[in-house]
């Protein structure tokens, strides 16, 4: 138990640093897509909710789990969809074919 906590804190610390370094480099041009993308990635919380539904340990956890899966999935689908729509609009004036 205690070692899982320490592991978790290490992971959190390292991921925080990586996030800081990576996101610092994102151009302000793309800050809106950045926010919608991190929002979609954050919806990975859906995995916790899926387990709640699938295990069906109590009626409360089952029902809360279903609502949570719905909320998170809408973020996954909506988040990726709108991020991609936005990024498709960014075009350069230089004629470079991707």
Partner 1 sequence: MTDLAGNQQIIEIIYLVASVLFILSLKWLSAPSTARHGVLAGEIGMVLAIGGTLLHHGIVDYKWIVIALVIGSGIGVPLGLVQMTAVPQRTALSHAFGAFCVTLVGTAEFYLRTPNVPRFMMAVLSMEVILASLTFTGSLMAAGKLQEVLPQRPITYKGQNVVNLFFLAIAIAVAVYLVVHPGAKQLFPVMIVIPLIFGVLMIVPIGGADMPTVISLLNSYAGLSAAAMGFVLDSKLLIIAGALDGSSGFILSVIMSKAMNRSFTNVLFGAFGQVQPAAVAGKEEKTVRSATAEEAAGILAAANKVVIVPGYGMAVAQAQHKVRELYDALTKRGVDVRFAIHPVAGRMPGHMNVLLAEADIPYDRLMEMDDINGDFPQTDVALVIGANDVTNPAARTDQSSPIFGMPILDVDKARTVMVIKRSMNPGFAGIDNPLYYLDRTLMLFGDAKSFVNSIVHELAGNTH
Residue numbers 19-48 binding partner 1 by CB under 8 A = 19-20, 22-48
Closest approach of Cβ 73 to partner 1, in Å?
2
6 interacts with partner 1 by CB under 8 A: no
Closest approach of Cβ 95 to partner 1, in Å?
10
CA 16 to chain centre: 14
What Cα–Cα distance (Å) separates residue 64 from each residue in 54, 57, 69, 73, 74? 12, 12, 9, 14, 16
Site for partner 1 in 60-89 (CB under 8 A): 60-62, 64-89
Closest approach of Cβ 62 to partner 1, in Å?
7
- Residues, the chain: 98
CB atoms within 10 A of CB 65: 21
């Amino acid at each position: 138990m205690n070692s899982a906590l320490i592991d978790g804190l290490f992971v959190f610390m390292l991921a925080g640093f990586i996030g800081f370094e990576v996101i610092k480099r994102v151009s302000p041009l793309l800050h809106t897509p950045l926010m919608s993308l991190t929002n979609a990635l954050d919806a990975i919380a859906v995995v916790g909710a899926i387990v709640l539904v699938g295990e069906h340990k109590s009626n409360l956890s089952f029902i809360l789990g279903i609502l949570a899966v719905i909320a998170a999935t809408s973020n996954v689908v909506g988040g990726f969809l709108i991020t991609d729509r936005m990024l498709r609009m960014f075009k350069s004036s230089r004629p470079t074919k991707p």
